[in-house]
Structure 1
């Protein structure tokens, strides 16, 4: 059996291009039709990290066409100003990626699912409510970015943050420099020197700022003047009524400040789907363990692969 094939592609939108990688199964035959999965990266990440170099290849090896894409304003995708984390735009990106998939003769338009990791899981959840072409949702350590901004990322003072953003935008409108904030210390040593103790901050630095997970476009960086885009947003809004597709949520039970255990549990409890609603808890593992550590990733994939096979109509 041959290995998977990775094919860079360009997804067109009315505004700018989205950069993506198509991951094609072993022994791919473009005369056949395949189920497909859209794979979405975490906040501050890129398609070459966990969504596209861990989960994407694993699903492609199991016979799925996978497309991992860079969010607008990030990675190799278009959009200005750079490093904007705009929830509405990130959700809209999913539909443009699906638009691209359904033009491919070897993708079955009735067998498309979605997978999101971390903030990508929150965005994938919101997108699934709006995008009926998604037949199944997988969310690994999902984070509700709006909730995170309203709480920890704003020091639990959203109004104060909005005032700071307003001041910064006025500066920029008058010709001042754009403020881009680094979300993490530059190295594990710097995190230790700064006294970082929270599990998620320490482990995020170990992932993004070392050879373990670091990639040129996975910069964990954010444009400060655009943060107001998220402060009145909720990834899970109306999940009780609109999220009717089958859904599988994977969390680790070792919580950290970014809150994926809490958000995953909340999401599982709120999902409207009566067809298939699953919760998988990787016991003894944390948020960032589920990015790339073999044992917890296997726990996630051992649930995700049969879940997608069942709901995307792929023979086991």
Structure 2
């Protein structure tokens, strides 16, 4: 039976919260390989990153850390619920900073993985932090593409949105209320009323806004102005030069609007990694990879094989 330990660690002036997952019969006198698990966009470690992936990796013998990114979940950072690519990327690195101080962690055997937007941010971290020896993405998405489509797709619409975000920052700088916007429509009925028929949005609502995956630390909202940085973000940038570590990408074979199927192909083709693999699980959607056994079980089997080989 695995055990867990809640931890707090520093991200410069902020404190981050996470949970360590220890395999059965863990021996703290030995230095172990470790896997950092990065949560999806709008999520927290109580959901798929900790409840599913870190737990199952520990059940297969790995030490794992799931955590909440700065400005999200139980970690510190104001205004809270900001989605900041730099913070999400460096959150991976702060997690590694913490882990390498632990006497039972082998600093030369650190792996990372991320789910959905967390996958894109984790890939971004691996490009610049080569303490990471192996990197994996499960339904990895590039939030830059997602938000360019959300607020675009044409350049004029993006500029109009950025101008509006600038006006809102001025309001907040002058003491006005911080503006939050919902990540998802509040219900399937609201989604239908808005004319949104995308499978990823439909299943995201079913995951995040129902007892299936709902959590109080993932309140379905983002700070509006923070998304300006996501519009300009590209998780694939420089992957052909900097992403050299072994790479495993796992995606569902049913494409949706969050683009994890498309992004997985893009990163696979672009990455400079000598050892890279793209695994498409047929008949599976993006959100089934969050918690549904028909998707999660083959994904975990592939991750165990990958990290077992390269860590």
**TM-score bin, normalised by smaller chain:** over 0.9
Quote the Cα distance in structure 2 between the aligned partners of 1:137 and 1:283: 22
Q: Is the 8 A contact 1:112 1:135 kept in 2?
A: yes
Partner of 1:152: 150
Partners in 1 of 2:310 and 2:35 — Cα distance?
A: 11
Q: What does the per-residue CA deviation read over 1:91-136, in whole Å, with 9 as the maximum and x for residues that have no partner?
A: 1111111011011111111111001000000000000011111100
Measured on the aligned residues, the alpha-carbon RMSD in Å equals: 1.3
Contact 1:7 1:23 in 2 (8 A): yes
In structure 1, what is the Cα distance between the partners aligned to 2:181 and 2:294? 33
| Per-residue deviation, 1:190 | 3.7
Q: CA separation in 1, counterparts of 2:220 and 2:250?
A: 23
How far did residue 151 of structure 1 move?
Answer: 2.2
How far residue 187 of structure 1 moved from its aligned partner, in angstroms, is: 2.8
In the alignment, the residues of structure 2 paired with residue 118 and residue 196 of structure 1 have an alpha-carbon distance, to the nearest angstrom, of: 20
Q: Distance in 2 between matches of 1:158 and 1:19?
A: 34
- 3-state secondary structure, aligned to 1:233: coil
CA contact (8 A) 2:151 2:161 kept: no
The 8 Å contact of residues 187 and 210 in structure 1, kept in 2 or not, is answered as: no
Query: Which whole-Å CA distance do the structure 2 matches of 1:148 and 1:190 have between them?
Result: 20
Corresponding residue number in structure 2 for 1:270: 270
Q: Name 2:92's counterpart in structure 1.
A: 94
Where do 1:125-204 residues align within 5 Å? 125-156=123-154, 157-204=157-204
Give the 3 Å change call, closer, same or farther, for CA 193–149 of structure 1 in structure 2: closer
Q: 2:20 aligns with which of 19, 22, 28?
A: 22
**CA–CA separation in structure 2 for the residues paired with 1:243 and 1:83:** 29
Q: How many angstroms apart in 2 are the aligned matches of 1:310 and 1:60?
A: 16
Unaligned runs of 5+ residues in structure 1 are none
Structure 2, gaps ≥5 residues long: none
1:206 aligns with 2:170: no
Report whether the alignment pairs 1:284 with 2:283.
yes
TM-score by length of 2: 0.96
Say whether 1:251 aligns with 2:269.
Answer: no
Matching residue within 117, 124, 127 for 2:115:
117
- Per-residue deviation, 1:195: 4.0
Query: By how many angstroms is 1:175 displaced?
Result: 2.2
- The question of whether the paired residues in 1 share the 8 Å contact of 2:6 and 2:20 is answered with yes
1:234-278 deviations in Å (ceiling 9; x for gaps): 11111001100000001112111111111111011101011x100
8 Å CA contact 1:268–1:278 kept in 2: the answer is yes
TM-score (norm 1): 0.95
